[in-house]
Amino acid sequence: MASRTSKTFLSLGRINIPLLGFNKSSGKVKYATALSINSSSGNKGLPDRGGRGSFVRRPRREAGEPRTGKMPVDQDWTAVYPAAAPFRPGSIPLPVRMGYPVKGGIPPEKKGNLELIKIPNFLHLTPAAIKKHCEALKPFCTEWPSALETDTKCDEHFPIKLESKEYVSAGPSLRNPSARIVHLRVKLSSLNLDDHARKKMIKLIGERYCKNTDVLTIKTDSCPLRQQNYDYAMYLLTVLYHESWKTEVWEAEKTVADMEDYSWEDSPSQKNILDVLLRMKVAGEGDGEEVRQQLLGRKDVQDYKDSVTRLKNEGESESSMLQYKEAVKKVFNM
């Protein structure tokens, strides 16, 4: 480039001096020769990258043999695939074929095979690689505390269990609105409740109580952040506990329909059985309070009471019906 410009300057210099004295025709001739010099010099040495005229292409280097030919059998594979990466046919010394074969043919080979690139591969997770990962993570691990060996011990020391979910997805954003939900689980037996408090607590929590496992589950998702939902759940637990210990004035108006369990005393069943027994009894005993009390004290009447209570509380089943049958038979001396 620099030599070209210098040559033009020289030619111009030569032209300028004669133009002062000579006529224009000689000047034109000089211009023409200057141009020809420039074009000839352009062809010799420098390759013109612009592409104008004839351009010299740099000799193309042939691609060498792929790495698969030079891999020793006992190489460290974790160095070839240290992290998750797509399938590279030049790095994997296996004659893998993938794809639907042409009629009368075989599946296409691995070179340029898009199907092998599409699928996820686990070449970076060989057992040797996983061992290396574990060795690297071991210094950061601590022992499980020896005082928490069994599940019951864990329940005893940590009765409140909290559950929340983390979400990982493919995309530029970390946020997932479902990650704010918090579940708080606690066994009512681990709380300090007396009979009235327990009944009131069960009435207050309603559907959140599972009778079989005696577990209260509080699910909070009304706040936008998980920390807020956790605080709200703990607040709810505290409030429930304190409220169930209080006795309000209007709780004295609790009727039989509000009772959770069936109690046999002063129930129609008790009245009925006593009436029947009195009528069955030899006439002359009379009807009085002491007679009723005496009848209640009898063992078969107690068994009848147990069977009826069990039927009403637990519902009907084979064993409870059998028990009721036996009790009735005993009472009527059948």
Partner 1 sequence: MAASLSSLGNVRVLSALAWSSSLCSFSGSRGLHVTVSCCKNRAARIRVGKGDKPVTYEQAHHPHHIGHRKGWLSQHTSNLKGEDGAAERTVEDVFIRRFMFGTFHGCLANEIVIKRRGNLLNVCAVMLQKLPPQKFYFLIGYTESLLSHFYKCPVKLEIQTLQDKIVYKYL
Cβ closer to partner 1: 42 or 108? 108
| Residue 9 C-beta: closest distance to partner 1, Å | 34
The label of the residue with tokens 């092998």 reads: 116
Cβ closer to partner 1: 127 or 177? 177
The label of the residue with tokens 């030919």 reads: 69
Count of positions (residues) in the chain: 334
What's the distance, CA 50 to chain centroid?
58
Cβ closer to partner 1: 24 or 175? 175
| Residue 141 C-beta: closest distance to partner 1, Å | 24
Q: What are phi and psi of 73, to 5 degrees?
A: -70, -30
Q: How far apart are CA 37 and CA 183, in angstroms?
A: 89
Cβ closer to partner 1: 91 or 228? 91
Q: Is 182 helix (H, G, I), strand (E, B) or coil?
A: strand
| Residue 81 C-beta: closest distance to partner 1, Å | 13
| Residue 112 C-beta: closest distance to partner 1, Å | 4
Q: What is the DSSP letter of 190?
A: G
Name the residues that contact partner 1, by CB under 8 A: 58, 63, 84-86, 88-90, 99-100, 102, 108, 111-115, 117-120, 168-173
Of 226, 222, 193, the closest CA to residue 209 belongs to 193
| Residue 121 C-beta: closest distance to partner 1, Å | 11
Cβ closer to partner 1: 178 or 213? 178
Q: How far apart are CA 94 and CA 86, in angstroms?
A: 15
What's the distance, CA 131 to chain centroid?
25
Cβ closer to partner 1: 177 or 315? 177
| Residue 66 C-beta: closest distance to partner 1, Å | 11
C-beta atoms surrounding 219 within 10 Å: 14
Angle, alpha carbons 266-271-274 (nearest 5°) = 125
Q: How far apart are CA 125 and CA 116, in angstroms?
A: 17
